[in-house]
């Protein structure tokens, strides 16, 4: 990521250059949940499950799926002209456009992957995982430098809320596109007689951060007290 930014001088296209690696490792992070479930790793399946599933959701159902749309910047009113067909307007539609008049529009391709918020959570996840896996590796080698231990149980204090902000802002940026296209949604009538609206599903996911994120954060604060300050903490069962 650093190399990309230094070479190109922009974050645009960064996601594309790292997406294969990201998808591979983030999907295989599911093994972390399996490891907790079968008892290889002594930690909560629930906490790990929420952590991993939220990231997998971000990778596959947001950044991978919401590929692109067009952003229109409309300025000048042209009397008698019509709105071109096939135009995907999912950004702010000026009030005149709604009345069916064409304005002078400049269109530009807009990818959710190029949102600054995506880069924000990618950077945060990356720093977190470099620290976390260094911690695991050195622990296994029985030579854990204090700085790594300190970083593992301190960085999250800032990184967790910043990562969550990046994730929520990305979902928020995706909402207009999801609403406009009706992607992943099922409308009635259909042969299953079931309706599903991905737009509202995303809003529910965003709201679910309110009760779930504090649980993860408090878990990490407890771990911090245990590992760095040697406090004995009795955790409730899942």
The footprint of ligand L7CU2Q4V (CB under 6 A) covers 41-43, 47-48, 50-51, 53-55, 57, 124-125, 128, 132, 136, 139-140, 156, 159-160, 163-164, 167, 205, 208-209, 212-213, 216, 219-220, 223
For residues 155-193, b (16+ Cβ closer than 10 Å) or e, as one string? bbeebbeebbebbbbbbebbbbbbbeeeeeeeeeeeeee
- Name the DSSP letter for residue 196: B
Q: Which of 160, 172, 209, 217 is catalytic?
A: 160
191 forms beta bridges with: none
Q: Is 222 helix (H, G, I), strand (E, B) or coil?
A: helix
192's CB contacts (< 8 A; 6+ apart) are 186
Active-site residue, 167 included: yes
By beta-carbon proximity to ligand L7CU2Q4V, the closer residue of 93 and 212 is: 212
Distance between first and last Cα of the chain: 37
For residues 21-41, b (16+ Cβ closer than 10 Å) or e, as one string? ebeeebeebeebbeebeeeeb
By beta-carbon proximity to ligand L7CU2Q4V, the closer residue of 148 and 216 is: 216
* Lookup result for tokens 């029985």: 142
Q: Whole-number minimum distance, CB 133 to ligand L7CU2Q4V, in Å?
A: 7
Q: Whole-number minimum distance, CB 65 to ligand L7CU2Q4V, in Å?
A: 13
Q: Whole-number minimum distance, CB 125 to ligand L7CU2Q4V, in Å?
A: 6
Contact 48, 36 (CB under 8 A): yes
Q: Whole-number minimum distance, CB 24 to ligand L7CU2Q4V, in Å?
A: 16
Point out the residue whose Cβ comes nearest to ligand L7CU2Q4V.
163
DSSP string, 137-190: HHHHTT---HHHHHHHTTHHHHHHHHHHHHHHHHHHHHHHHHHHHTTT-BPSS-
By beta-carbon proximity to ligand L7CU2Q4V, the closer residue of 18 and 93 is: 18
Q: Whole-number minimum distance, CB 188 to ligand L7CU2Q4V, in Å?
A: 23
By beta-carbon proximity to ligand L7CU2Q4V, the closer residue of 81 and 235 is: 235
107 forms beta bridges with: 72
Q: Which of 153, 167, 177, 198 is catalytic?
A: 167
Residues tagged active-site: 160, 167
């Amino acid at each position: 990521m650093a190399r990309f930014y230094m070479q190109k001088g922009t974050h645009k296209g960064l996601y594309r250059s790292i997406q294969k690696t990201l998808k591979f490792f983030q999907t295989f992070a599911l093994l972390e949940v399996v490891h907790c479930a079968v008892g290889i790793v002594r930690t909560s399946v629930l906490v790990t499950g929420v952590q991993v599933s939220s990231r997998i959701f971000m990778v596959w159902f947001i950044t991978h799926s919401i590929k692109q749309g067009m952003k229109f910047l409309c300025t000048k009113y042209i009397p008698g002209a019509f709105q071109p067909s096939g135009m995907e307007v999912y950004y702010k539609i000026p009030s005149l456009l709604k009345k069916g008049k064409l304005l002078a529009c400049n269109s530009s391709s807009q990818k959710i992957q190029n949102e600054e918020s995506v880069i924000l959570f990618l950077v945060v996840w990356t720093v977190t995982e470099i620290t976390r896996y260094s911690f695991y590796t050195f622990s296994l080698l029985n030579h854990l430098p204090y700085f790594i231990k300190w970083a593992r149980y301190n960085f999250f204090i800032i990184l967790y809320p910043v990562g969550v902000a990046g994730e929520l802002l990305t979902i928020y940026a995706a909402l207009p596109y999801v609403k406009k296209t009706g992607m992943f949604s099922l409308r009635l009538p259909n042969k299953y007689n079931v309706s599903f609206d991905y737009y509202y599903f995303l809003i529910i996911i965003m709201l679910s951060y309110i009760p779930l994120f504090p649980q993860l954060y408090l878990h990490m604060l407890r771990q911090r007290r245990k590992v760095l300050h040697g406090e004995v903490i009795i955790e409730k069962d899942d």
